[in-house]
Amino acid sequence: MSTTSDKPGVVHDAPRYGDRIFAGAATGAGVLILLVLAGVAGFLLWQALPALTASPADVRGGEGLAHYIFPLAFGTILTALIALVIATPLSVGIALFITHYAPRRIAIALGYVVDLLAAVPSIIYGLWGVYVVAPASVPVATWLSTWLGFLPFFGPDPSASGRTTLVVGVVLAIMILPVMTAVNREVFLQTPRLHEEASLALGATRWEMIRQAVLPFGRSGVISGAMLGLGRALGETMAVAIILSVAAGVHWDIIGTANSGTIAADIALQFPESSGLDVNTLVASGLVLFFITLLVNMAARWVIARRSDFSGAN
């Protein structure tokens, strides 16, 4: 397909081997990427197979694979959702600030500054979370426990170290903020100028213009950005592994001492000391994580792709 230029009737002085080789290499690289993605699923499945077929008593925890993975999947989704709840309004606000409020001249520089948040390695977020955020969260957790203790999320005994699901959620929110802000920024900038100007010309204030023109236009972009952020939060490893103090089982209390672990952090914590069937078990949990994030990411990309087909912005 790459040599479509060699149609019958086109006269060549000599066969252009350079062209063929280069086109072949380019196509090959593309195919290789698809093979790698298929390989990720395939090799994980291959290495997870022994754990899938093992008798429940042999799997770590002694009660079967599902019993081992379910609390971790619960913790993964709970922390990611907390992060999403915090980061979504923030990222919309920041993107609006950069696109519609900040002085035009420094707006691009402000965008870079937000992007720098994504450049900080996750191990550093982990150390920062343990030594800065966790201690600072203790009074907040105490307050939540005292006044909102009737909710299942806020148990009666807040953790004294602050290494809780809530703190992990906050740190994850900071980590996914740049991705979400970048997507929101892009769609807000694509709002047709005529819509904005029409709204302003009818006497709308800036906020009314944003509500009438920018937000409706950007809604699907915001949704897909949130899903991309969700995908990142689900897969985040080191920050969670360092901050969270984990206890086995499902825990709804997000400020207590016992917290459900996450799949990614559990792999990072257990893998270096594991061998044999334990490795297969961890790979199986990694496979679950892979499929969860794959679904979330595909949904997000599908929303984006569908949007660019219909928005008329491109």
Partner 1 sequence: MPDTDLDAPDQPSLTTVHEPTTSTSSPLGGMPLLRPTLPRLAPPLMLLAAFAVAVVLGLTVSSLNPVALLAETAVLYGAAIYTTSAVVEGRRNAVDRLVTVVVTTFFLLALLPLVSVLLEVVRDGYKRFDVTFFTYSMRGVVGEGGGAYAAIMGTLIITALTTVVSVPIGILTAVYLVEYSKGSRLGKVLTFFVDVMTGIPSIVAGLFAVALFVLFLGPGARAGVIGAVALSVLMIPVVVRSTEEMLRLVPNELREASYALGVSRWRTITKVVLRTSVAGIVTGVTLAVARIIGETAPLLVTVGTTTSSNTNPFSGRMATLPVFSYYEYAQPGIPRGPYLDRAWAAALTLIIIVMALNLIARLVSRFFAPKTGR
- Identify residues 248-287 at the interface with partner 1 (CB under 8 A): 264, 267-268, 271-272, 275, 279, 282-283, 286
Looking at 66, 106, 116, 247, which residue binds partner 1 (CB under 8 A)?
Answer: 116
Residues 127-166 that bind partner 1 (CB under 8 A): 127-128, 131-132, 136
The window from 150-158, 161-169, 251-259, 293-301 that contacts partner 1 (CB under 8 A) reads 293-301
Looking at 90, 138, 223, 313, which residue binds partner 1 (CB under 8 A)?
Answer: 90
CA-to-CA distance for 120 and 238, rounded, in angstroms? 12
Q: Helices (H), strands (E): how many in the chain?
A: 12, 0
Query: Which distant-in-sequence residues (6+ apart) come within 8 Å of 120 by Cβ?
Result: none
CA-to-CA distance for 146 and 44, rounded, in angstroms? 45
The least distance separating partner 1 from the CB of residue 152, rounded to whole angstroms, comes to 26
Of 161 and 252, which CB lies nearer to partner 1 in the complex structure? 161
- Please compute Rg for the chain using Cα positions: 24
Q: Collapsing DSSP states into helix, strand and coil, what is residue 259? A: strand
The window from 39-47, 144-152, 252-260, 306-314 that contacts partner 1 (CB under 8 A) reads 39-47
Q: Collapsing DSSP states into helix, strand and coil, what is residue 2? A: coil
Residues 49-88 that bind partner 1 (CB under 8 A): none
Q: Binding to partner 1 by residue 1, rule CB under 8 A?
A: yes
For the stretch 273-277, contacts whose Cβ atoms lie closer than 8 Å and that sit 24 or more positions apart, written own/partner, are 277/50, 277/51, 277/54, 277/58, 277/59, 277/60
The number of residues that bind partner 1 (CB under 8 A) is 103
Q: Which of 143, 136, 168, 173 is nearest to 158 (CA)?
A: 143
The window from 67-75, 96-104, 155-163, 248-256 that contacts partner 1 (CB under 8 A) reads 96-104
The pattern of x and - marking residues 197 through 236 that bind partner 1 according to CB under 8 A reads: x--x--x-xxxx-x-----------------x--xx-xxx
φ/ψ of residue 236, rounded to 5: -65, 135
